[in-house]
Structure 1
Amino acid sequence: MTEREKMLAGELYNCGDEELLKQWHKAKNLIRIYNQLNYELKEKQEEILNELLGSRGANLWITAPFFIDYGNNIYIGNNCEINMNCTFLDCNKIIIGNNALIAPNVQIYTVFHPINATERFTLNENGAFSFCKSLTAPVTIGDNVWIGGGTIILPGVTIGNNVTVGAGSVVTKSIPDNKVAYGNPCKVIRDNN
C-alpha cells in the first residue's frame, strides 16, 4: 500500500513520502498562482480550479486567499461560495454538497497526529528529525449548508443537509440534517425550519 493509499484509508502514513510531497508542491504552486490572480481573470481561475480540485460543480466562487494541502481530495458541488482566507487541509476527502456557503476564515481539517509522540515522530537513517506521521478522517458537508466565519471543522465530522453552523464554532462531532448549531464545542441548539 502506498503512503497516499494509507493516507486516504485513515491509516498512519508518512507525510514526507516522495509521491505525496510531489502532489503537495504542485498544489501549493497552483494555489499560489490562484491567490495572486486579478479577480477579473475568471477563466484563468476556473482553469486552475479544474486542475487543482478533485471535482467541482457549476457556479463555484472561491475568494482568495485560499489555502489547501493537496487540492485533489476536495470535491465541491454546484452553487457554492467559499469566502476569503479559508484553509482546507485535505489529506483525506473534503466533500461539500450543493448550495454551500462557507464564510471567511473557516478551517476544515482532515488530518491529525497520533497522541503518542513516539508514533508521531520518526528519525531518518542518520538520526535527524524526519517528517511527522499522521492519520486522517474525511469531512462531509451536505447540501444547503452555511458555515459561519471562523469555524473550525475537525477530522471525521459530517454536517448534514440544511444545517447552519454559527460563527466561531469548533465542530468536533457530526451534526444531523436540519439543525442550527454553534459553540465551542459546537452543539445543536435547535431545528432549522
Structure 2
Amino acid sequence: MTMQRSLSKLRLVRIGKPLPQTTFETFAGVIRRAFAHVIEELEIVDHEPPPVDRIEASLLTADLDHRIGGHILGITDVDLVDRQGDDFFEFMFGGKDHRSHVAVVSTRRLASSRGQALQDRVFKVGLHELGHNFDLLHHYAFVRAPDGNYCPMSKGDYNRYGERGYVRSVVDGRGFRFCSGCRDFLLRFHHA
C-alpha cells in the first residue's frame, strides 16, 4: 500500500461531544470538497474523551493512533497544550503528530462564539491540520484561494495579533478551499 493510498481514507473522530453529530456530517462534506480526488473514504467515529480539561496534544494524538489507527482528524472540547514549545504558545487550536497521520482540533479556544462562527472556525482549523497530514506547509503571507478567501494553510503572525485577534484576523479570514499551489501539491503527490 502506498503512502497516498493510506491517506485516502480518513477517520473523523468525535472525541466526546464537542459539536453535534450533524455538524460532523456537514464537516465531512466540507472535507470531501476540499480534498476531492485525495480523500476517497471518510468515516465518522466516536471516541471517549480523556477525563481531563487539558491534555498534551501529543498524548491525545498518540492515544488516537493506538486505539483507532490510520489517518485521523480528531475534534475535542478538551484544551490542547504543548509543553514542549515556547510558553507563549502553550495552548493550541489544533496540532498534528509528526510521527503519524493523526491531527486534532480543540473547540475550547475557538468557542468565543457559538453557532455558525464556531462551526466555521473548527472546520478551518481542521482543514489546516489535515493539510499538514498531507505535508502542506504554512503560508506566513496571506495566500488566497481561487474563491478569494485565504488558503486554509495561511498562518499569519500570532505574535502580532494575540489569541482573540488571531482567531478573528487569521482563522476567520481563511476559506474552505486550498490555494492553487496547495491544490497542485495535493493532486501531484497524494492523488487517490
TM-score, normalised relative to structure 1: 0.30
More strand by share: 1
Larger Rg: 1
Which structure has the highest helix share of the two? 2
Instruction: Flag the structure with more relative contact order, 1 or 2, with Cα contacts below 8 A and sequence separation at least 6.
Output: 2
